[in-house]
Structure 1
Amino acid sequence: MTGRPAIVLAVVLACQLMVGIDATIVNIALPEIQARLHFTQTGLAWVFNAYTLAFGGLLLLGGRAGDLLGRRRMFASGVLLFTAASLVGGLATHSWWLVAARALQGAGGAMASPNVLSLIMSAYEDGPRRTRALGVFAAVSSASLALGLLAGGVLTSAGSWRWVFFVNVPVGAAILALTPVFVRETDRHPGRFDLAGAVTATTGVAGLAYGVIRTATSGWGDPVTIAVFAAASLLLAGFTLIEARAEQPIMPLRLFADRRRAGAYVNTLLVPSTVFAVVYFLTRYLREGFGYGPVASGFAFLPMTVVLMGVVRLAGRLITRWDARPVMAAGIAFVTAALLWLSRLTGGSGYLTGVLGPLVLLGAGAGLTTVSLSVTALSGVRREDSGAGAGVFQTLQWTSWSLGLAVLVALYHAAAGGGGAESMARGTSSAFAGASVIAVLALLSTLAFVRGRARDGAADAPREAPDGRSLPPGRGSSPDAASRPASGRSAPP
């Protein structure tokens, strides 16, 4: 990195904001896209699904490729592909053209996004400065979902659906121009690429995504859906066996050895689905239940975004003083309270009485939770594993969004029954009640597994054996043996 970490952070987070916004900005424009490009209702879902499949399936690969080939190189390559695909998507004149562009956007995002995190980790040593940087990352990632709705509404209303794609072009071009000036290439870690792990991970995660996508139209009992889930499960089981034996795995299993980190991974699989559920179901409720337009729907989430950004500024200092566990528990408690409040929505609910309060609570809870999850999941990760660690963290986030949303959509349809505002309120209330159960499970996971203070990077640093070979922590001595003086006395602070 250069000596200007604030500029470096701004450059890489501009990419994260662009990729995050793209997850929701297109949703607002879907009715206009369907009318202009003559999508069927089933085919229209692939405008979102093509992005999801490519992004989720390639995240692990993108993260590990950054470790081996250079994180700046992979970051810039991903931004270039994402930007070019956005231009191609904005110029689309046929439905297949747009779906292909969305798949390329997902691939570019999967190359760039995990390397955003690993570049941040390379720029800052474990400690308060990294905690603050990860807090900004968490704020940008969480706020991008709501900002995407707002931007999509403004661009679609003021111009054309094509601008939800074209807007990425100048942003991507600016990132590409600034990256070689301010972002220095990280050390590469040469070795054999884990091809078998890459193939089984990509196909297994993509299969899981496709199975989740099918449940929306075919249900959980559909034979093809069951077969896809079974195949994905076998592939992911095979992937775990491959990683246990691989010399340089795409997902080092040692990442799961730390109890705190494993607990954070569990929560990363649970909590994001609840926040995404609010964005998904409440957007529909505001538009169809309250009759809000696209711009008003986007602005309705502004209180949540403002509170989230403010809380994130405090979260780092709270973690430094109290550690991540109580901050994470408090954040999840706020999220749970917001979901329980939203589960009381009825056909007669209004924005001020039934929505504003929960959004403020959710902003506070999401701000505390996402920062503490990021810090706990990424603390102590070896430098040569930082790309893989970021890939695992973001793959779990994506899996939470996809799988959790599929479960909650099933709850929605089971409770909604017929049509009408009251039916929609009943279904939405049921989905939020289900999301609150997921949040309670995350709170229990925090109390059970996330114990003890976070370790610094020395705990996971490779050690050197007497014969010069590199040894992982824990082989032949305790994990922190490398940082302990030979005399047995404690090292100075």
Structure 2
Amino acid sequence: MLSLTQLIVVLDGTIVNIALPQAQISLGLSDTERQWVITAYALAFGALLLLGGRIADYWGRKRTYLVGMVGFGLASVWGGFAQGGLDLIAARGVQGLFAALMAPAALALLTVTFPGGRDRNTAFAVFGSVAGAGAAVGLVLGGLLTEFADWRWCLWVNAPVVLVGLIAGSLLLTESKAEGDNRYDVLGTITVVAGLGSLVYGFTLAENGWARADTIGFIAAGVGFLVLFVWIESRVAQPLLPLRVVAHRVRGGAFLLQAVAGSVMIGALLYLTFHLQIVLGFAPLIAGLATLPLTVAIAAVAPFATRLLPRIGPRPLMIAGPIVGAVGLLLLSRITPGGSYLVEVLPGLVVLGIGMGLLFVPLQNVALSGVEPHDAGAASATANASMQIGGSLGLSIFTTIYATVSGHATGATSAVDLVNGYSAAFVAAAVGMVIAAVVAIVFIRGPKEQLLPSGDHAPIHAG
């Protein structure tokens, strides 16, 4: 049931991707508004996850989870009835807000329910695989709903899933929360939201030029707010993000890996759907089905990686996964305007799925390994926030690269121009995956028993 929550949270980051071309025509969206339909969700989700994690810790994880489900469902219905671009973007932002309550509460419940051992490995393998496959499942479901119903059903479909989650959560979940002095970090919340929002918006403006004053100003402001956030967190008694959660080398490395994975699964896959529909002329359902090999590859690799995990530990998988994923993205970068899906797209998708499957199985487990119960919500939120903020920043950066290479900013729209832009975005994503492999080599170190503690082992502490 908790994995179902993770599925709809991740799925909603991509389910509208397939629907965007039709939604753009229906609502008269500009290209910038089209991007913000994706970015608004990921940014609100990622920026507010830390606060959501603390609310889950302090107010109660079950209670927070149920409230998040209700709000998420209502925002989905609102988005389905949107009559304009700003209306849809606002609804997507509210979806992200309530997802920021729901997701860390679900992951924190999983963390305290499975503190260690074989059951924890299995639980996190399932949870991580669902998170990894959710982005691709969203593309398939989005295509099915767009072609045979209406693009609006890509939002309305959440309502019955939310209803099931509410019933199951009310009956099956047990309340838990952190003990002791629980005060909210208001200044930390303001600075981290302002910092992440400014940074993402600055990268979005870079589509029109890196040297522009507004581009530089927003990026600089974002960095400044985030530096101030770290300073505040090091001094307040009850920080929004206890620095001990991210200061540990292994956990910090895992969070960085999640950011890169998010940039690929949210950002790079958007341009694949554009290529399939706009250049190759696939119908929405066919375009969604065309991404299915990615999901199948992740699902096929997950059981193998789960069995391998206790034998060799997470480090080899977390190094090999990004490298294999980078190869898949480079294969995708070889697309041409008149190329064959079977020759130019399918091999890259399968290889990318294999790489992501190897990475996702150990990733959530390592990111939350050794976290104290008091910090379970904050750590869970950081794990989710890393992926969503990585997706927001990745999408902004890939959009800038696409616009620059394709000549979109100057009005060029030929198939050759579009493919050149998409290819450049895939190459940039591949570079990011190589960097992720280096991060794993440098940061994910230590005996496998320490990286994946059993219930008998002490938690890992920062230091």
Same fold (TM over 0.5): yes
Describe how 1:195-344 pairs up with structure 2 within 5 A.
195-216=186-207, 218-344=208-334
Name 2:114's counterpart in structure 1.
124
Bigger RCO of structures 1 and 2 (CA < 8 A, at least 6 apart): 2
Name 1:443's counterpart in structure 2.
437
Question: 1:310, CA displacement in angstroms?
Answer: 1.8
- Contact kept, 8 Å, 2:60 with 2:175, in 1: the verdict is yes
Name 2:134's counterpart in structure 1.
144
Seen in structure 2, the aligned counterparts of structure 1 residues 132 and 445 have a Cα distance that, compared at 3 Å, is same
Name 1:395's counterpart in structure 2.
385
Describe how 1:383-422 pairs up with structure 2 within 5 A.
383-417=373-407, 418-422=412-416
Bigger mean CA deviation after superposition, 402-411 or 376-385: 402-411
Question: 1:29, CA displacement in angstroms?
Answer: 2.3
Question: 1:221, CA displacement in angstroms?
Answer: 2.5
Question: Unpaired segments of 5 or more residues in structure 1?
Answer: 1-10, 462-472, 480-493
Question: 1:206, CA displacement in angstroms?
Answer: 2.2
Match of 1:381 among 368, 371, 378: 371
Seen in structure 2, the aligned counterparts of structure 1 residues 182 and 101 have a Cα distance that, compared at 3 Å, is same
Match of 1:51 among 23, 41, 51: 41
Asked if 1:180 corresponds to 2:173, the answer is no
Asked if 1:60 corresponds to 2:54, the answer is no
Question: 1:382, CA displacement in angstroms?
Answer: 0.8
- Contact kept, 8 Å, 1:126 with 1:380, in 2: the verdict is no
Seen in structure 2, the aligned counterparts of structure 1 residues 93 and 411 have a Cα distance that, compared at 3 Å, is closer
How many residues end up aligned between the 2 structures? Answer: 453
Letter in structure 2 aligned against 1:406:
S
Letter in structure 2 aligned against 1:91:
F
1:201-242 CA distances to partner (integer Å, 9 max, x unpaired)? 2222222232233334x3332212221222221111111011
Describe how 1:71-90 pairs up with structure 2 within 5 A.
71-90=61-80
- Contact kept, 8 Å, 1:146 with 1:305, in 2: the verdict is yes
Question: 1:40, CA displacement in angstroms?
Answer: 4.5
Name 1:490's counterpart in structure 2.
none
Question: Unpaired segments of 5 or more residues in structure 2?
Answer: none
Distance (Å, rounded) in 2 between the aligned partners of 1:269 and 1:187: 27
Name 1:488's counterpart in structure 2.
none
Distance (Å, rounded) in 1 between the aligned partners of 2:385 and 2:164: 27
Letter in structure 2 aligned against 1:122:
V
**Is the partner of 1:430 in helix, strand or coil?**
helix
CA RMSD of aligned residues (A): 2.1
Seen in structure 2, the aligned counterparts of structure 1 residues 175 and 451 have a Cα distance that, compared at 3 Å, is same
Seen in structure 2, the aligned counterparts of structure 1 residues 404 and 95 have a Cα distance that, compared at 3 Å, is closer
Distance (Å, rounded) in 1 between the aligned partners of 2:283 and 2:429: 26
Question: 1:413, CA displacement in angstroms?
Answer: 3.1
Seen in structure 2, the aligned counterparts of structure 1 residues 436 and 48 have a Cα distance that, compared at 3 Å, is closer
Asked if 1:23 corresponds to 2:13, the answer is yes
- Contact kept, 8 Å, 2:365 with 2:452, in 1: the verdict is no
Bigger mean CA deviation after superposition, 224-233 or 41-50: 41-50
Q: Work out the percentage of aligned pairs sharing the same amino acid.
A: 38
Name 1:433's counterpart in structure 2.
427
Distance (Å, rounded) in 2 between the aligned partners of 1:347 and 1:30: 21
Describe how 1:132-171 pairs up with structure 2 within 5 A.
132-171=122-161
1:145-173 CA distances to partner (integer Å, 9 max, x unpaired)? 12212111211221222212221111111
**Is the partner of 1:110 in helix, strand or coil?**
helix
Distance (Å, rounded) in 2 between the aligned partners of 1:82 and 1:297: 27
TM-score normalised by length of structure 2: 0.92
Question: 1:34, CA displacement in angstroms?
Answer: 3.6
- Contact kept, 8 Å, 1:49 with 1:213, in 2: the verdict is no
